[in-house]
Structure 1
Amino acid sequence: MRVGLTLYGDIDERSGGFRYDRKLLQGLRAAGDTVELVELPWRRYPRGLLDNASPRLRDRLDVDVDVMLQDELAHPSLLRANRQLPYPIVSIVHHLRASESRRLSPLYRAIERRYLGTVDGAVCNSTTTRDIVTGLGVDPGLTAVAPPAGDQFDPDLDDGTIEHRARERPLRVVFVGNVTPRKGLKTLIEGLSAAETDVKLTVVGRSADERYAAAVRRSVRREGLADRVDLAGELSEEELETVLRSSHVLAVPSRYEGFGIVYLEGMSFGLPAIASRAGGATDVVTDGETGVLVDPGNSAAIAGALTRFDADRDRLASMGKAARRRYESHPDWRETTARVRGLLEAVAALEVIP
């Protein structure tokens, strides 16, 4: 097949969504497909909507392909252009913006519904995402759940290592993600402060929202946690691997995750996860088995989870081993690519039916 891939920004950026797109591109090419990459400039939401009046954008998208993949995050720029394009379109939906924002959710939902009305199918990273997408009008028969693989590190780890680490003190927790309101770091810090135990937290990630990051630093000082919270910032892959290997629990209590590849990456190190019930994390984290699910913003539930992990090291070890098994059973990139290719072939075939 001749496949296109349209996205905002540079495909070599580090976030999980870009890694997914990059791995998909590599997998399609390895399967014998040709893939033409269309990288559009990053836009703030209102500016992206203005792109729809630009004939230059339409020209940029005029490529010779059998089917076009579009990263849904670029949807503001594609609403109008999609209706004029000569090829079928499949959207890659990592998560919908309407699921992130509370105040502007109705507006985002209306715009994303309109965008999804211009595509012929959708690749979804979780069953939760698929349910939302089909609820916004995409034909369920033209969707595929194709989760990302969490094999960024794929460490060599056995049950004995997980068991031995579980006995070490103090309890070491790691947060990995951009420091933004959606990721729930302030809630985690509040939970850490309320936990009836000695817990050390390492925060790994760049400050994508400086105002929020400043609020996080104030919370750490106000709660007297400066000696227990390490705001490590963005780390290299090797440095992050070292932190994950030495931690006991991964905690990212996001307000919403379309999938949450970070949970799976933590599980590769035998780390049970503290994750939000909202969104696709439930595809990966089984409450009480491979981690703990909490309601968004519930710092008391986080405090309770941390206290129980510290008090019951047998349970911590058991859940760590279950987390590792969950990682080992997860689809790899080859299977994910195969699911996407199957959908692309089906959508491309629709165009040749008389």
Structure 2
Amino acid sequence: MAEADGKTPTRIVHVTEAPLGGVVSYLEELVAAQIEGMPDTQIDLITPEINLPALEQLHGPNFRIIGFPMKRGSARDLYGLARRTIRHLRERRPEILHIHSTFAGAAIRGMSPLIPRGTKVVYCPHGWAFSRQGSRKMQRGTALVERALSLVTDRIVCISEYERQAALDIGIADKRLTVIDNGISPRDILHEPTPPQPGAPRMIAFAGRFDRQKGFDTFVEVMRQLGDEARGVAVGSAIVSSDEMPDLPGNIELLGWQPRDEVFALYRRADLLLMPSRWEGFGLVAVEAMQAGLPVFASRVGGLQDIVLDRETGRLFTPDRPDEIVRMIRETSDQDLTEYGRHGLERYRAHYTAERMAKEMAGLYRELLSQ
């Protein structure tokens, strides 16, 4: 995206209702880069209280984080978030309101007449709701809502080219869309790929919510079929209900949510990352693994198709096909894994840095403020 002339905003408000997971990782990277790159800008982040420990490293003289109680799936809490946000906007009068995720986007933009004049509304769905698995009626309904709300949005940030094309397909105007790929900061542990240990069980990593979207049940079935050939290490937890957890085979270890540096250290030890997601707007975990030189085996869905290059940085497979995944893992040699990891690290360095993401976002803000 070309960098536009225009002023740097003096006040930015970020808002999300999403608990933990990829949206929070995205905000951690973006807001940290904005605090450093725009030191004179007041940046506020309104987020559920459950996210506060994961974001505690964000700090700066002009940064403020505002937590609120949010029960997942609660329409009452979502309405409360929208009212709180509108009140905050009318008190602070920011130039940029940047909304993250579907439900916050719908609730707050649904109150667009109350948003102060002069505040530019930027919205990032982090994966379109109408692209998720579900009934056709639900998909059509959410598509109609997104198309209508796009008319009161100054710009929609698509986190992958796939997401942009999906928006065009339902009739959202191209002029309202900008693609800015996610990015992550380099870590001290950044390194060239380490070859797998011949003859040892392969360590297969999983990171994310233990739910249907992320395909945790598929991961469990793959590990069950591999048996003594592999051991699985899963970072994350069941956000909605632990009652939905499938029975685990003995070759899976659950670590819970971990600090990001610990996750990167795990990626250095693992042989591959498995992402059997049923839908993804982007798939930030894949980029994090590539940064550590770890091959990514992922579903051929959403933004993962843009990130993972089949037989170059990993493998792509059909969702809900554990037999296919097991066959791919068994057919992939140690040499192939080493090459996939090396190419993935090169791809991260070329396309998915936080510095590039923050620079493009700042350019978008300036473009909007110059209009």
Instruction: Please report the TM-score for the alignment, with normalisation by the length of structure 2.
Output: 0.80
Q: Distance in 2 between matches of 1:345 and 1:22?
A: 21
- The reply on whether 1:92 has 2:120 as its aligned counterpart is no
Q: 1:259, CA displacement in angstroms?
A: 0.9
Change (3 A) 1:301 1:50: same
The 5 Å alignment of 1:298-313 reads 298-309=321-332, 312-313=333-334
Q: Residues 71 and 55 from structure 1, CA distance in 2 versus in 1: closer, same or farther, beyond 3 angstroms?
A: closer
Of 25, 31, 37, which aligns to 1:31? 37
Q: SS in structure 2 opposite 1:6?
A: strand
Between Structure 1 and Structure 2, how many residues are aligned? 334
How far apart are 1:101 and its partner, in Å?
A: 4.2
Q: CA 1:55–1:187 in 2, change beyond 3 Å: closer, same or farther?
A: closer
Question: Per-residue deviation at 1:30?
Answer: 3.4
| 1:270 Cα deviation from its structure 2 partner | 1.7
Q: Distance in 2 between matches of 1:170 and 1:347?
A: 53
SS of 1:144's partner is strand
In the alignment, structure 1 residue 323 sits paired with structure 2 residue 320:
no
Structure-2 residue corresponding to 1:157:
191
Maintained 8 Å contact 1:79/1:114: no
Corresponding position: 1:81 with 2:111: yes
How big is each residue's C-alpha offset from its partner over 1:227-273, in whole Å with a ceiling of 9 and x where there is no partner? x1212322344543332221100001101111111111111222111
Q: Call closer, same or farther: CA 1:66–1:271 in 2, change over 3 Å.
A: same
The alignment's C-alpha RMSD in Å is: 2.8
How far 1:291 moved relative to its partner? 0.9
Q: 1:314 aligns with which of 314, 317, 335?
A: 335
- Look up the SS of the partner of 1:59 in the other structure: helix
1:97/1:16 Cα in 2 relative to 1: closer, same or farther (>3 Å)? Answer: same
Q: Distance in 2 between matches of 1:346 and 1:307?
A: 50
> Counterpart of 1:321 in structure 2: which amino acid?
R
Residue identity in the other structure for 1:77: A
Counting aligned pairs with the same residue, the percent is: 21
Unmatched 5+ stretches in structure 1: none
| Offset at residue 137 of structure 1 (A) | 4.3
Which of 157, 160, 174 aligns to 1:123? It is 157
Which of 211, 216, 239 is equivalent to 1:208?
239
2:17 matched to 1:6?
A: no
Q: How does 1:254-293 map to 2 (within 5 A)?
A: 254-293=277-316
Change (3 A) 1:154 1:128: farther
Match of 1:335 in 2: 356
Shift of 1:119: 0.3
Letter in 2 for 1:76: A
Moved more, 96-105 or 276-285: 96-105
SS at match of 1:183: coil
Question: Structure 2 stretches of 5 or more lacking a match?
Answer: 1-8, 48-67
Question: Is the contact made by 2:186 and 2:353 (CA closer than 8 Å) also made in structure 1?
Answer: no
Is the Cα–Cα contact under 8 Å of residues 256 and 279 in structure 1 kept in the other structure?
yes
AA aligned to 1:5 is V
**Aligned with 2:213: secondary structure?**
helix
In the TM superposition, residue 306 of structure 1 has moved relative to its aligned partner by 1.5
Look up the equivalent residue of 1:39 and give its one-letter code: I
Task: Decide whether the 8 Å contact of 1:250 with 1:271 is kept in 2.
Answer: yes
Query: 2: distance between equivalents of 1:239 and 1:28?
Result: 24
Provide Cα deviations, 1:75-112, integer angstroms capped at 9, x if missing partner: 23213312332122111231122333413333333333
Q: TM-score, normalised by structure 1?
A: 0.83
Per the alignment, do residues 242 and 336 of structure 1 end up closer, same or farther by CA in structure 2, a change over 3 Å counting?
A: closer
The answer to whether the Cα contact below 8 Å between 1:175 and 1:252 also exists between their aligned partners in 2 is yes
**Counterpart of 1:61 in 2: which secondary structure?**
helix
Is contact 1:28–1:35 with CA below 8 Å preserved after alignment? no
CA 14–154 in structure 1, closer or farther in 2 if over 3 Å, else same: farther
* Other structure's SS at 1:182 match: coil
Q: 1:45 and 1:98 mapped to 2: Cα distance?
A: 20
Residue 75 of structure 2 is aligned to residue 46 of structure 1:
yes
Q: Is 1:132 aligned to 2:166, yes or no?
A: yes
Aligned partner letter, 2:173: D
Q: What is the alpha-carbon distance in structure 1 between the residues aligned to residue 114 and residue 259 of structure 2?
A: 43
Q: Any conservation in 1 of the 2:150–2:176 contact (CA below 8 Å)? A: no
- Does the 8 Å contact 1:3/1:69 carry over to 2? no
Tell me which moved more, 73-82 or 201-210: 73-82
Q: More deviation in 252-261 or 91-100?
A: 91-100
